[in-house]
Amino acid sequence: MSNHTDSPSELSRRSVLRRTAAVGLLATPAAGLLSACVGGGTEEPSTSATGTKSAENPLGVATETPVEVVIFDGGLGTKYATDVHIPSYKAKFPKSEVKYSSTQEVSTALQPRFASNTPPDMVNNAGSKLMDQGKLVEAGQVADLSDLFAAPSLDIAGKTVGETLIPGTIEQGTFNGKPYVLNYAYTVFGLWYSGKLFKDNGWTAPTTWADFTALLEKMKAKGITPYSYAGANAAYYQYLVILTTAAKIGGADVLKAIDNLEPNAWKNDAVKQAATLWGEIGAKYGNKAHLGLKHTEVQLQQNQYKVGFYPSGSWLENEQSKDTPAGFDYQVAAIPGATASDKLPATGLYAAAGEMYFVASKGGNVQGGKEYLRHMLSKAGAKGFTELTKSLTVVTGAAEGLTLSPGLTSANAALTAAGAANFSFRWDAWYKNLDDECRAATNELMFQGGTADKFCDRMQAAADKTEKKFSR
């Protein structure tokens, strides 16, 4: 993906940052506030129930102890939990009750429970009101998943759970050198559109920026909002698009520098060029009224053929299933190439393991929580998830033989076309304060007349502030 060669000092700094990124969140006086938010970080004897380890019970689950799981009710829905994973767990441990609940506001529902050290066993931490995962890890509230990944797969003979996963999955959920989070859904991000709308108008997905803006003009002429997203809670869709363009212009190391809080990483020429291009798109082809809308409201307008392109991940098709008209035919296009000298091809994609699941270290059934994840990571569990959510998982080959939906078929094709030119970043999970700032800066750029310089300066100031906390 890049021809850049790291010097020994760069490698050292980068490895330290990646290994201790979560520590950087807490090496400040504000860390004292953390215990009030998510519970103390002191080591305490575990009171979690355990059972006897065996070939049939490799994680030593207490087979008659209840396990509590909380699932985020968002784009993926909850049926994959209620109809696939919970029944799988119950079949294995029929005397164990699975206490299940769902929420659309994870932090609102669960922050008090973590503060009182009475958390559920397994949590799907997602949505616009997710908990700060880095702070949870550093506060000692998240269980190390090493034994889960070393355990045998539930239904893939001869392999450990870790060996069944797409390369990079475990690393994506690693903090301080240990795996604490399972990123389960393998998500393809890009520009989503209606295949029917394009077919009816004789349009094709653009691969160059000139083709992109020409198509947006054609949409505008037909009274369609050519490009939009929801400013109220979906700005991260758009900043992801901006940084995808930056990576295409300057190579994936542009994103690595941002991940590692390197000096002036946000002021890189590639980031400025990308912000300039997307700021122009917002000004010319967006809809300022969408600043105050939620994601489903703008997505509904797309289903009504009022919005042309919508930036999102491959959960979109499932999230809109109730409102999508027959024949709409969800499709996804890679972000078009920006310049003739881009370092990555136009087919390059932001594609990565996402949708965080973790086990609470102070839950009543820690090993049961890990066992629940083992069922999610079985081939049957992953296949059932894909069937119900129209989203891939990180379990290699689990979608083989399935009849895929139009959107997922398109995402698979885009992923194949990208080849090795797919990339991702992790700063948004490591540093929630930067995520919050970038959402606001993105809305300013896209909806409120902001400029590329303001965007880059604002984000660099926030990154510098985070780096100073980290380096103390």
| CA–CA dist 230, 236 (Å, integer) | 10
Q: Show pLDDT as tens, one digit a residue, over the chain (472 residues).
A: 333 333 222 322 233 233 333 322 222 222 222 222 345 444 444 678 888 999 999 999 999 999 999 999 998 999 999 999 999 999 999 999 999 999 999 999 999 999 999 999 999 999 888 999 989 999 999 999 999 999 999 999 999 999 999 888 998 899 888 999 999 999 999 999 999 999 999 999 999 999 999 999 999 999 999 999 999 999 999 999 999 999 999 999 999 999 999 999 999 999 999 999 999 999 999 999 999 999 999 999 999 999 999 999 999 999 999 999 999 999 999 999 999 999 999 999 999 888 999 999 999 999 999 999 999 999 999 999 999 998 899 999 898 899 999 999 999 899 989 988 999 998 998 888 999 999 999 999 999 999 999 999 999 999 999 999 877 6
Is the full-model pTM beyond 0.75? yes
First to last CA, the chain: 33
User: How many Å apart are CA 128 and CA 318, to the nearest integer?
Assistant: 18
CA geometry: angle 180, 185, 188, nearest 5 deg: 125
Let me know how long the chain is: 472
The pLDDT assigned to 24 comes to: 29
**What is the reported pLDDT for 128?**
81
From 425, 463, 366, 383, select the one nearest 123 (Cα to Cα).
366
Residue 102 bridge partners (DSSP):
71
Q: Which residues of 19-31 are buried (b: 16+ CB within 10 A; e: fewer)?
A: ebbbbbbbeeeeb
Output Rg (C-alpha) for the chain, integer angstroms: 22
Whole-number pLDDT of residue 134: 86
Structure tokens given for 341: 């000298």
pLDDT at 347: 97
* Angstrom distance (rounded) from CA 300 to CA 41: 43
Q: Domains in the chain, start-ordered, CATH in brackets?
A: 62-186+352-423 (3.40.190.10), 189-349+426-471 (3.40.190.10)
Mark 190-214 as b/e (b = at least 16 C-beta within 10 Å).
bbbbbbbbbeeeeeebbbebeebbe
Tokens read off for 362: 């102070």
pLDDT at 46: 63
Nearest to 373 by CA among 59, 117, 41, 9: 59
The DSSP string of 74-120 is STT-SHHIIIIIHHHHHHH-TTS-EEEEEES-HHHHHHHHHHTT---
Q: Which of 442, 439, 423, 420 is nearest to 431 (CA)?
A: 439
Place of tokens 């010319």: 284
Buried/exposed 443-471: b ≥16 CB within 10 Å, e otherwise: bbbbbeebebebbbebbbebbeebbebbe
Q: Dihedral sign for Cα 108, 109, 115, 119, please.
A: negative
Q: 72 and 103 in contact (C-beta within 8 Å)?
A: yes
